[in-house]
Chain A
């Protein structure tokens, strides 16, 4: 049988991007411990609406850990204390009765708060737009089995491609660097045979775009710890290597 929890929440409330924000304290009463963290917020919101208080806006959608919409700072940790778990998959049984929980939006200068706990993550799309694709117009591919890909290579690409684009890596980084997100997409595409022709232009372009929005990596490793999909820091090293190669190769190409 599920038990119920009574909690104190400190939630960041901010009406608009340029409005001042602050932590507001709410009591969360009778929260079933089977509910997820987001359902806990649903319950609190129902109570707020009953009392004519505007509900807390928080990011969420699929609630099964794959869409990457959700994500808040819970007690100073991106997605909360559970490893490899997105906020929507964090359940209240991981908390104790009487806990105080501080909830804050992702913070980065390039992630302006839209409202309360929701931030604008469009820079991540800009990075993909800069080269996070393989140019293969519809209908141009040969038979799928014409290109053989060793199982290990496909698995490793999949490890990187598992990124859900939630932004926890950037939020957790003390420098607000976008390395883990960018390098995961780069490794996904750069490690596959199909991705080779554009490998170096892609790397250069995505890294340059990333640096227009985000900070510099100092190799804390905080990003990988925060990642709900356990994306590895190794991809950042691969990206760094490829970037220097790209600088050299792209130059030799353009001088031909």
Chain B
């Protein structure tokens, strides 16, 4: 026996996108936006950790020349060499550094990929208001993530080419391993110094929203301690900003010099 059927109205009922076919765990996590945000938060924390450590390491620039094995050497260069020799002799030279580099690169790529796909999803879901919006909670940091992110990424490319690979940009003066000298030379160019400052302001803004947001995305939440999440975001972003911006200024002011 068949029943007469009636179809419900269908318009807003239709999904914007299909449910993806489930990949095996844990890849399935990354198939959802909430999962992607989770990955973005974890990779974000890794990258913030790197930026913070990088800044602290760079503070060695202020130590200038120190005595090492009876000779004078730049502390920064020694620090760079130590990184290359991490866990030697348990591991061969450079291996640990490369593992870290690959890990960081992987985190970076995942961070960028998740940001890109989530942005596309959001842009497709949003329908712009035709009138003026009046935002209450969304601040400059949160609304500029899709701008500060690419700025930082572009700067990173330049920065790696300039001071790690020595490609093209600092030709002539670049000597692999002479980190201190390379930095002084590179940041001694006002255009590079200004670019460095702008990029680091972008980094700080990105990190300020990123840290708070990452806690939220990971579900690290306790109404009693939630004020600490904002506080941590402000503190870390502030420390990184002050530390990093101080380097080009110090170079230009000849506080850090050869």
Contact = CB atoms under 8 A, between A and B. Distances in A.
Interface stretch (B73-81, B185-193, B209-217): B209-217
A121 interface: yes
Given A108-B125, A237-B221, A216 B37 contact: yes
B129 A236 contact: no
Contacts of B133: 76, 174
A240 B143 contact: no
Q: How large is the interface on B (under 10, 10 to 19, 20 to 34, 35 or more residues)?
A: 35 or more
Interface in B109-146: 118-119, 121-139, 142-143, 145
Contacts of B17: 211-212
A76 B19 CA distance: 33
A178 to B, nearest CB: 9
Nearest to B209: A219
Contact of A219 (B29, B33, B213): B213
B37 A73 contact: no
Contacts of B145: 218
Nearest to A219: B213
A245 B64 CA distance: 49
Contact of B136 (A123, A225, A248): A225
B28 interface: yes
Interface in A64-94: 73, 75-77
B11 interface: yes
B11 A104 contact: no
A214 B125 contact: yes
Contacts of A21: 130
B219 A239 contact: yes
A231 interface: no
A212 B118 contact: no
B218 interface: yes
A94 to B, nearest CB: 15
Interface in A210-256: 211-222, 224-226, 232-234, 236-244, 247-248, 251
A234 B129 contact: no
B35 interface: yes
Nearest to B137: A221
A12 B130 contact: yes
Nearest to A22: B130
A12 B128 CA distance: 13
Contact of B126 (A17, A174, A225): A174
Contacts of A200: none
Contacts of A110: 12, 16, 125
A218 B33 CA distance: 10
Contact of B118 (A12, A126, A216): A216
A240 B38 CA distance: 8
B13 interface: yes
Nearest to B29: A247
A111 B37 CA distance: 24
Nearest to A17: B11
Nearest to A173: B126
Contacts of A76: 129, 131-134
Contact of A213 (B15, B134, B216): B15
A251 B25 contact: yes
A226 B136 contact: yes
Contacts of A176: 122, 125-127
B121 A216 contact: yes
Contacts of A212: 15-19
B122 A240 contact: no
A147 B143 CA distance: 45
A129 B143 CA distance: 32
A10 to B, nearest CB: 7
Nearest to B212: A219
A127 to B, nearest CB: 11
A175 B15 contact: no
Contact of B221 (A75, A213, A238): A238
Given A122-B13, A215-B33, A221-B142, 11 more contacts: A12-B131, A76-B134, A110-B16, A120-B11, A212-B17, A216-B36, A216-B121, A218-B122, A222-B137, A234-B221, A237-B219
9 closest cross-chain pairs (CB), A and B: A241-B219, A120-B12, A215-B125, A237-B221, A76-B134, A175-B122, A221-B137, A215-B122, A220-B138
Interface of B: 11-13, 15-19, 25-26, 28-29, 32-38, 118-119, 121-139, 142-143, 145, 209, 212-213, 215-221, 223, 226
12 contacts: A73-B129, A75-B132, A76-B134, A111-B12, A209-B19, A216-B121, A216-B125, A220-B142, A237-B220, A243-B35, A247-B29, A247-B35
